[in-house]
Amino acid sequence: MPNLSGYRHALGGGFPGLRAAHSCCLPRRVSRRRLAGYHTRMSNSFHVQATQPGGLQAVVGTAVTPAPRPEVQAALEPEYLANRRQRFKTLVNRLTGGEMRRLLDVHPDAELIAFPLSYLYAFHWLRDAVHPRYRGEVLAKFRNPSRAFLMDLLEQAEDAAGFLRGYLEHWLQAAPGAVQQQRELMETLDRHGGDSERLLQTLLDAWQGLQLFRRTEKEAYRDLGREERERYAGMLGPQDRERLALVDALPDLPVEAPRFAKLGIIPAMGCPQNCRHCMFIWRPPMRNTPDPQQLMALVDRCTDSVLFTGGDLTRHLDAYYRAIGCMSRVRTFAILLNGDFASDPQATDATLKAMAEAIRGRPASWAQAQVLLQISFDEFHQEILADQEGWLRERIPVAKIANIVECAVRYPQIQLCLLHKQNALNFSMDLFRRGVVGRLVRELGRRGHQLQILGTAPSPRAKRNPLDPQQIGLVLKEASFVLAHHPDRPILLTSSTIDAYGRATLLEAGEAVNERDQLQQVLRQEVSPGEGFDTDLMFWFNGWATLFSAVHICLGDLYQDGAETIFARRRKDPLVRALAGFDRRLLALYAEVRNDLNARIRLATSPHQLFHSITEDAQVRLHMTRRLLVDV
């Protein structure tokens, strides 16, 4: 396993304006005072400053879509092309490197036809992922003499049959040579009696048998959304109630009032964005919910750290301000937003000023508190998209995140943390040079800011680079930086993996880091203590009480069952305990009532995702609980 010396070396990686910094691990929770001292202890700092003019402009207003601006188009186009080229390259390498052969399985000609079908897959992918205006430019980087005909087919063929016919004709007309693909084609042609039309039909039949690209992205999301809707329809239904009755019947010892490291509050579930990595497609509506005072009072008694979440809560900030104004014991009020509110500096300041004023308005006798403002910031929230005419836009502009960074440093009551999703760039300090973080660095530089990296911290485990699964190393998980004009106001960045929930089940393999190696450790019973599910509680405004890591596992309705009953269930529930430790018995119990365990393991992206997926069905949860109780 690589050590941190690789990180120190990467800091000097040939990027103008950078100097090597001491590698420094940022504690998981750092107070403002400690962060201030943290900066002064850094004797050798790391600077990033954009020196070229131009870049991304702040988009004013959200109600009306602005007309495309040439300077925005010029800034976004290189990023869009680089992203699509990397995705295309990764896709082709993965397919031609063995993935298409695996998909063809027992097809008698699998070894010989895997290559053309890999590029037929790429043909369909290009039509899904790249606007026609840019396909030629995406492919131009790969148009060397040996592949030029393939690039022409990818760009110009009208359909699958046209692509495959062009592929066959190219090699049939080419002079005999030592090219492997030509030899494979001729061998396959011999197997078909020299009949090219018969071979073409074999290729088309093999492709259709894979049943790929049968649905549009919209249709696929619709089907996933229907599954989610059905899953939530069973929340606290008859089978869940029967399961909870079994838990209630278990003996329980008297305990002191519970204390939690954190608790969650979900005022509503909703987000106007459709990010490709989001675990939610359909979100359970919450209308006419009870007054949340009882819920807030309960949370205030049980923790000093609360997280407001549920998608994007921009439209529910009143509930957040109310919590700050009534929870006297809580010290950290975290909230997750997508940053879309920051349409211009004035709108940004209005929102952050309201947060700061809510903190300042707390009585002096209450616990000293701060806002932990968590902003989603990654290649998906800031994805560059093309409209029907080919004009480019960012899903949520980087300029809006820059507005938040500029504004947050002026309010000591607010600690800003950018939440990032790990990808191939996390394996080095390229994270700060390229991709969405590099775009933010350049945008802030365009505004005259210099960034100083205070420290970075790696992941506790080595992970596989999604662009090259043979490369294993530590990823940059956490970092802190300051704007040079505000050296005492650190901004945090923390990154996590993406699991195959919701829309993320359709992500390409090279787009994000996963935890499949950790899953294999769990399956081999090598998991370390504390590596299981987060079983702290989330309280929904409609009364549901669910687990942090599994919002489909509900321990009751706060308003109907009461807090003490819910806390007792969490203590006694054998399913909760089994999830907390990734108990492998759950796999065997799942297999007793479902026949797709091996398929779920094969598709799982982490132990969390696997154990989440096998407990999503209420009937399965009931069965598991019954069987676990037999072993108690």
* Count of residues in the chain: 632
Indicate whether 343 pLDDT > 60: yes
The predicted model gives 244-255 an average pLDDT of 91
Indicate whether 559 pLDDT > 50: yes
Indicate whether 22 pLDDT > 60: no
CB atoms within 10 A of CB 200: 16
Residues 6+ positions from 131 with CB-CB distance below 8 Å: 386, 390
Cα angle 239, 278, 90; round to 5: 125
Q: What is the model's pLDDT at position 66? A: 58
Q: How far apart are CA 273 and CA 251, in angstroms?
A: 46
Indicate whether 43 pLDDT > 50: no
The predicted model gives 452-479 an average pLDDT of 94
Residue 153 corresponds to which tokens in the numbers above? 């087919």
Strands 263-266 and 305-308: parallel
For 257-278, how does the pLDDT look when each residue is reduced to its tens digit (9 = 90+)? 789 999 999 998 888 888 888 8
- Give the closest residue to 273 by CA, choosing from 319, 317, 336, 346: 336
Q: Does 112 or 256 have the greater pLDDT score?
A: 112
Cα angle 260, 265, 270; round to 5: 150
In degrees and rounded to multiples of 5, residue 95 shows phi and psi of: -70, -45
For 562-579, how does the pLDDT look when each residue is reduced to its tens digit (9 = 90+)? 999 999 999 999 999 999
Q: What is the model's pLDDT at position 457? A: 96
The predicted model gives 521-535 an average pLDDT of 78
Q: What is the model's pLDDT at position 529? A: 54
Please identify which residue in the block is written with the tokens 């009480």.
545
For 593-622, how does the pLDDT look when each residue is reduced to its tens digit (9 = 90+)? 999 999 999 999 999 999 999 999 999 999
The predicted model gives 166-187 an average pLDDT of 92
Indicate whether 31 pLDDT > 50: no
In the chain, what is the straight-line distance between the N-terminal and C-terminal CA atoms, in Å? 39
Helices (H), 99-248: 100-104, 110-129, 132-140, 148-156, 160-173, 180-191, 196-210, 217-233, 238-248
Q: What is the model's pLDDT at position 551? A: 87
Indicate whether 379 pLDDT > 60: yes
3-state secondary structure of 266: strand
Q: Which helix (H) or strand (E) holds 34?
A: helix 32-41
The predicted model gives 295-312 an average pLDDT of 95
Q: What is the model's pLDDT at position 528? A: 60
Q: How far apart are CA 573 and CA 250, in angstroms?
A: 9
The predicted model gives 524-529 an average pLDDT of 70
Q: How far apart are CA 588 and CA 303, in angstroms?
A: 36
Q: Within 13 A of 382's CA, how many CA atoms are on the CB side?
A: 26
The predicted model gives 465-470 an average pLDDT of 93
CB contact at 8 A, 120 and 92: no
Indicate whether 128 pLDDT > 70: yes
Percent of the chain with pLDDT over 70: 88
Kindly write down the DSSP assignment for every residue of 463-499, as one continuous string.
EEETTEEEEEE--EEEEEEEETTEEEEEEEEEEE---
CB contact at 8 A, 513 and 422: yes
Q: How far apart are CA 311 and CA 532, in angstroms?
A: 24
Residue 475 corresponds to which tokens in the numbers above? 């990823």
Q: How far apart are CA 74 and CA 441, in angstroms?
A: 17
Q: What is the model's pLDDT at position 30? A: 37
Virtual torsion, Cα 297, 298, 303, 307, nearest 10 deg:
-80
Indicate whether 37 pLDDT > 70: no
Q: Does 220 or 602 have the greater pLDDT score?
A: 602
Percent of the chain with pLDDT over 90: 74
Task: Spell out the domain ranges in the chain.
Answer: 73-210
Indicate whether 3 pLDDT > 90: no
CB contact at 8 A, 212 and 99: no
Q: How far apart are CA 186 and CA 79, in angstroms?
A: 41
For 49-87, how does the pLDDT look when each residue is reduced to its tens digit (9 = 90+)? 433 333 322 233 333 455 667 888 889 999 999 999 999
User: What's the pLDDT band for 234 if we cut at 50, 70, 90?
Assistant: confident
Indicate whether 168 pLDDT > 60: yes
User: What's the pLDDT band for 33 if we cut at 50, 70, 90?
Assistant: very low
User: What's the pLDDT band for 287 if we cut at 50, 70, 90?
Assistant: confident
